[in-house]
Chains A and B, each alone.
Chain A
């Protein structure tokens, strides 16, 4: 087998070829226009844009479409490549949603490890006061990268769960637009490469990239802007695909209120991704244009009379948070969906208040659009806005609470068993609870004036992110692992993972909150020992390493069990969901026959009830 027959390798070649061509183009262009040939900023911008396009073209994520523009038919390809080993399909453009789902998921996991490892590095620096090995500039780069890489990990992890599960759960053959699906995945890869290259140049504004600071720093910013823009584009296309799939491809009898609950979560998530993402794309493009061309959107510019004829820094914050707040619900809604999906299975009981849970996802998503200003309480915007955003933010607690109480209703009176996925689900509930409850304390403006930009906020969002994404994501990995591989993971190692990670996590996030109330600011490489936070920081660092170790265990478990794990069988969890009624691992064409829905999804314990009927052939 030749190396270049691997899609990813071709893509990488395309990336670097594009980089060179793009840079050369800019240089030539500048020479023609009579400017000095070299301008780091402009040359890199050209290079990055061409590199990303080069990757996508070279790997062939657009080949079919390009053929269509010339009127050439391209039949849908199914199955592993005929002339290459089967695993190569994971490194090439493949239209099967199960392959794409795994591609997303594994990339997400990889990013989580990279992002987490960056955190470990700077946590080691923070373990005691004084600068020991990370200079302030490097610290800022690591911190900023940690933020974006970890957030990108979430977006991809969510994409993985959605792409793999949604079509399976609604019994569809594939996504509505398989080619678009592959395209949306593959543009992430050059974006991530670009993001990582940015570390070489550094950038120091944190993930929020507030101007004017982000207009001044090194050229690494430009790479971040385009990387995030591209990942955003992927979000938009992916969510579009998912919405169409869910609205149009459900089988007979599956009304919206009979979908597996996870689909509702993805529906709400996708609505946010489809719309809000445009705003961060736009904001980052504007930053890029302000840097390259000097268009004054955000930086004030004074004329001779001293009037500001330029931009305003706060405009960026509005645009940024209009995406980035709803984005936090992109991070959690799928996770909360996983919780709702798994609880009934391990409680052997119907999901309590299905409709309420389903609609609360939508409510969270919608209210989430009205609260972005709570990140700007101290920014100096109008006094009345503080009050409006305080009230709207507090309102989000209501639909979130509905979920929590309904989960309790689901557990109550069940026959609970505690395999690893269930443990992670329960862990998620408790962790997200403390994260969520630390939200209102930030939402009432007066307290936020004190807590803003302290480690209290850091503690808040690690708890929400771990409870809302990381724990459920791990639960999902363990739960659907038998479906994906046909084998069981190692239960003992799984439980060990849980019992290391959960206390580790509690320690980390509570200690972060403590440091915050003691006056520890965010985003600083060194702190004043007089604050008395040194022991607290040491705890956070230790906890961080414990978490990392436990994740290492999971990775070991997942790798080895794929070879030696016990054969899992079709339905080890005795679930009613459609994907468990078919063989594990799922065959190329998931459902041999169209399915139809004949009952409620979660009627565990109701004698004689049935969710789906597999032999839909007769009534087709």
Chain B
């Protein structure tokens, strides 16, 4: 094993630590990405979320490695040897260093704030080509379309910007489709909105993400993302059904 320098100001320490930080950053980054699989993938709004999440992971990997490698390295190199009763080296601080590690994170924070604003805009922007109202109550959902159609499941055409307006009748709930990314609370006394452009056809679960009492855990509904044609067909059928109902009443 290579011989480590003993003086704390020796350059060699920093070269070794630097190299180790680099290696652990890469290893840790891939490890974290592997154990933190972000489910948000299937909407336009999920893209910026996933991208920013991964950026964060790299930042975390780097900062975690930076601190922990330095720490483990000093634990190893500067550990007290058997029988050594001497004190450590005496230095009380270093203002230049302190300023550096205040300013550098500050710069990072500014950068992330800037990126954060951009991604927030992207993750909440969209159109209202399709509009649907989701009403949450203890412990279920209904979905109302502007043309009067009401359904227990939500159906949306793929790749069309949709605006979902959200209303709660009793307590606070939260509308979430994990595959789509963002969630939005439903607050009694307010109407909240969410913009989403689904990019993948299929069936997804709508879950309630705000504790709302006894059966919060089972406050579920289905959303079906279908092709444009299928959507129109479904809508026509619904209209027919509901007209039928009104006629027979």
Do any beta carbons of A and B sit within 8 angstroms of each other in the complex? yes
B60 interface hit (Cβ, 8 Å):
yes
Q: Please tell me if the beta carbons of B75 and A517 are within 8 angstroms of each other in the complex.
A: no
Q: Please tell me if the beta carbons of A510 and B91 are within 8 angstroms of each other in the complex.
A: no
Residues of chain A within 8 A of B112, CB atoms compared: 394, 440, 444
Q: Chain B contact residues (Cβ within 8 angstroms of A): what range?
A: 35 or more
Stretch from A43-51, A221-229, A523-531, A563-571 at the B interface: A523-531
| Interface members, chain B 55-73 (any A CB < 8 Å) | 56-57, 59-60, 63-64, 67-68, 70-71
Q: Please tell me if the beta carbons of B185 and A519 are within 8 angstroms of each other in the complex.
A: no
Residues of chain A within 8 A of B239, CB atoms compared: none
CB distance from A47 to the nearest CB of B (A): 25
A312 and chain B: residue at smallest CB distance: B189
Q: Please tell me if the beta carbons of A449 and B205 are within 8 angstroms of each other in the complex.
A: no
Stretch from A30-38, A155-163, A192-200, A600-608 at the B interface: A600-608
A411 interface hit (Cβ, 8 Å):
yes
Report the bound CA distance from A383 to B193 in whole Å. 11
A585 interface hit (Cβ, 8 Å):
no
Report the bound CA distance from A132 to B35 in whole Å. 28
Q: Please tell me if the beta carbons of B35 and A510 are within 8 angstroms of each other in the complex.
A: yes
Residues of chain B within 8 A of A380, CB atoms compared: 184-185, 187, 190, 192
Query: How many interface residues does A have (CB within 8 Å)?
Result: 96
Residues of chain B within 8 A of A313, CB atoms compared: 172, 187-189
B109 and chain A: residue at smallest CB distance: A394
B115 interface hit (Cβ, 8 Å):
yes
Q: Please tell me if the beta carbons of A604 and B178 are within 8 angstroms of each other in the complex.
A: no
Report the bound CA distance from A417 to B84 in whole Å. 10
B115 and chain A: residue at smallest CB distance: A444
Interface centre among B57, B84, B109 (most CB of A within 10 A): B109
A239 interface hit (Cβ, 8 Å):
no
A206 interface hit (Cβ, 8 Å):
yes
| Interface members, chain A 523-545 (any B CB < 8 Å) | 523-528
| Interface members, chain A 381-399 (any B CB < 8 Å) | 383, 386-387, 390-391, 394-395, 397-398
A249 interface hit (Cβ, 8 Å):
no
A140 interface hit (Cβ, 8 Å):
yes
CB distance from A406 to the nearest CB of B (A): 7
B148 interface hit (Cβ, 8 Å):
no
A499 interface hit (Cβ, 8 Å):
no
| Interface members, chain B 205-237 (any A CB < 8 Å) | 205, 207, 209-218
Q: Please tell me if the beta carbons of A446 and B52 are within 8 angstroms of each other in the complex.
A: yes
Q: Please tell me if the beta carbons of B92 and A441 are within 8 angstroms of each other in the complex.
A: no
Q: Please tell me if the beta carbons of B74 and A408 are within 8 angstroms of each other in the complex.
A: yes
Q: Please tell me if the beta carbons of A453 and B210 are within 8 angstroms of each other in the complex.
A: yes
Report the bound CA distance from A510 to B38 in whole Å. 14
A354 interface hit (Cβ, 8 Å):
yes
Q: Please tell me if the beta carbons of B207 and A521 are within 8 angstroms of each other in the complex.
A: yes
Stretch from A97-105, A212-220, A548-556 at the B interface: A212-220
Report the bound CA distance from A606 to B92 in whole Å. 10
B146 interface hit (Cβ, 8 Å):
no
A311 and chain B: residue at smallest CB distance: B189
Known interface pairs A441-B53, A525-B217. Does A517 touch B38 (Cβ–Cβ under 8 Å)?
yes
Report the bound CA distance from A438 to B57 in whole Å. 9
Residues of chain B within 8 A of A417, CB atoms compared: 79-80
Q: Please tell me if the beta carbons of B93 and A354 are within 8 angstroms of each other in the complex.
A: yes
B26 interface hit (Cβ, 8 Å):
no
Q: Please tell me if the beta carbons of A404 and B67 are within 8 angstroms of each other in the complex.
A: yes
Report the bound CA distance from A84 to B73 in whole Å. 54
A301 and chain B: residue at smallest CB distance: B189
Residues of chain B within 8 A of A416, CB atoms compared: 74-75, 78-80
B89 interface hit (Cβ, 8 Å):
yes
A347 and chain B: residue at smallest CB distance: B88
Q: Please tell me if the beta carbons of B64 and A349 are within 8 angstroms of each other in the complex.
A: no
Report the bound CA distance from A443 to B119 in whole Å. 12
A294 interface hit (Cβ, 8 Å):
no
Q: Please tell me if the beta carbons of A352 and B92 are within 8 angstroms of each other in the complex.
A: yes
Report the bound CA distance from A406 to B46 in whole Å. 38
A536 and chain B: residue at smallest CB distance: B35
Mark A223-243 against chain B: 1 for CB-CB distance below 8 A, else 0. Answer: 000000000000000000000
Q: Please tell me if the beta carbons of B211 and A398 are within 8 angstroms of each other in the complex.
A: no
Residues of chain B within 8 A of A310, CB atoms compared: 189
Residues of chain B within 8 A of A445, CB atoms compared: 116, 120, 123
CB distance from B208 to the nearest CB of A (A): 8
A348 interface hit (Cβ, 8 Å):
yes
Q: Please tell me if the beta carbons of A413 and B91 are within 8 angstroms of each other in the complex.
A: yes
Q: Please tell me if the beta carbons of B174 and A453 are within 8 angstroms of each other in the complex.
A: yes
Residues of chain A within 8 A of B105, CB atoms compared: 397-398, 401
Q: Please tell me if the beta carbons of A387 and B120 are within 8 angstroms of each other in the complex.
A: yes
Known interface pairs A379-B187, A394-B116. Does A447 touch B49 (Cβ–Cβ under 8 Å)?
yes
Q: Please tell me if the beta carbons of B79 and A418 are within 8 angstroms of each other in the complex.
A: yes
B116 and chain A: residue at smallest CB distance: A444
Residues of chain A within 8 A of B59, CB atoms compared: 437, 440
Residues of chain A within 8 A of B89, CB atoms compared: 349, 413-414, 605
Residues of chain A within 8 A of B207, CB atoms compared: 521
Report the bound CA distance from A78 to B196 in whole Å. 69
CB distance from A26 to the nearest CB of B (A): 27
Of B68, B88, B205, the residue contacting A415 (CB under 8 A) is B88
Residues of chain B within 8 A of A353, CB atoms compared: 92-94, 97-98
Residues of chain B within 8 A of A29, CB atoms compared: none
CB distance from A330 to the nearest CB of B (A): 23
Residues of chain A within 8 A of B94, CB atoms compared: 352-353, 409
Q: Please tell me if the beta carbons of A433 and B64 are within 8 angstroms of each other in the complex.
A: yes
A133 interface hit (Cβ, 8 Å):
no
B243 interface hit (Cβ, 8 Å):
no
Q: Please tell me if the beta carbons of A604 and B209 are within 8 angstroms of each other in the complex.
A: no
Report the bound CA distance from A213 to B139 in whole Å. 12
A355 and chain B: residue at smallest CB distance: B93
Report the bound CA distance from A522 to B176 in whole Å. 13
Q: Please tell me if the beta carbons of B214 and A204 are within 8 angstroms of each other in the complex.
A: yes
Q: Please tell me if the beta carbons of A449 and B183 are within 8 angstroms of each other in the complex.
A: yes
Report the bound CA distance from A438 to B61 in whole Å. 11
Q: Return 17 A-B CB contacts under 8 Å, by A number.
A: A205-B213, A211-B171, A213-B171, A213-B213, A313-B172, A348-B86, A350-B91, A351-B92, A354-B92, A416-B80, A433-B67, A443-B116, A444-B112, A447-B56, A521-B207, A605-B88, A605-B89
| 3 A-B pairs with the lowest CB-CB distances in the bound complex, closest first | A413-B8, A300-B189, A349-B88
Q: A216-B171, A415-B84, A604-B90 are in contact. List 11 more A-B contacts (CB 8 A).
A: A136-B218, A314-B190, A347-B78, A349-B88, A352-B93, A378-B174, A379-B187, A386-B120, A415-B78, A444-B119, A453-B209
